Chains A and B, each alone.
Chain A
Amino acid sequence: AQTVTQSQPEMSVQEAETVTLSCTYDTSESDYYLFWYKQPPSRQMILVIRQEAYKQQNATENRFSVNFQKAAKSFSLKISDSQLGDAAMYFCAYRQTTTGGSNYKLTFGKGTLLTVNP
C-alpha cells in the first residue's frame, strides 16, 4: 500500500522569506502523480502544484516549486517570497495512474501547518 509521510507537523516563516515543506512517500508503482494541496482555515482544499512521476523536470507554479527526487521518493515544496495568505495546512498527496489500475484515490500525508509571520 502506498504511504505518504510529512515529518514536519508545523513550520513557520517570515513574510517574504522562503520555506521548504518536506514529503516522502512509498510505492512500488512507477507511474503516479504527486500533489501539494493547501487547506486554509476556510477549509476549502486547493491544489497548489502537481508532479507527474515520469517527468524529470520539477514542476513550478509562480512562487511554488517542487524538488522531486524519484529514486529517494522525496517530494518537497518550496514557497518563495512567502505571503500572509500562504498560511494554511499543506498536504502532500499521491495518486497512482497505472493503466488498468482501478483505484485512483488520493493518499494524503498528515499535513504541515504553515504559519507566516509579518
Chain B
Amino acid sequence: KAGVTQTPRYLIKTRGQQVTLSCSPISGHRSVSWYQQTPGQGLQFLFEYFSETQRNKGNFPGRFSGRQFSNSRSEMNVSTLELGDSALYLCASSLGPGGHNEQFFGPGTRLTVL
C-alpha cells in the first residue's frame, strides 16, 4: 500500500507570491492534517480535513488556507508569502478524525521563501 505522498518535495518562492502544496493520503484514509515545521516554532498544527470539510484550524493567519477533494486528496495554499513561511510542511493522513486513528506522515514539502 502506497504511503502518503506530497508534491512538490521542494519549492522556492519569493515574498509576495502564493504557493499551493498537495497531499495524497493513503488509500482509504479520509482524514488529512497539515503541520508546519520550523526550527524556531517546532511542529505546529495548521488544519484538519475530513470528508471535504475543515474540522479544525490552528492559530495561523488567513493567508493559510486549504481544501479537500472528494477523493480525499488535500491542498494547502499560502498567499502573499513572507520570509517566515519558510518551513517544512507535513501532511498526515488517517482513516478518520478520531483520536484513536493513527496519523501517517508524508515526506513533507520544503518551502523556501526568498
A interface, CB within 8 angstroms of B: 32-33, 37, 42-47, 50, 91, 95-98, 101-111
Contacts and interface: CB of A to CB of B under 8 A. Distances in A.
B84 interface: no
B44 to A, nearest CB: 8
Contacts of A101: 99
A111 B42 contact: yes
A108 B43 contact: yes
A97 B97 CA distance: 10
Contact of B98 (A42, A97, A108): A97
Contacts of A104: 48, 56, 97-99, 101
Interface string B62-106: 000000000000000000000000001010100001111111111
Contact of A107 (B45, B88, B100, B102): B45
A42 to B, nearest CB: 7
B102 A47 contact: yes
A32 B99 contact: yes
10 contacts: A42-B107, A44-B107, A97-B99, A98-B99, A102-B56, A104-B98, A104-B101, A105-B48, A106-B92, A109-B42
B101 to A, nearest CB: 8
A97 B45 contact: no
B110 to A, nearest CB: 8
A106 B45 contact: yes
B43 A105 contact: no
A110 B42 contact: yes
Contacts of B105: 37, 44-46
B60 to A, nearest CB: 12
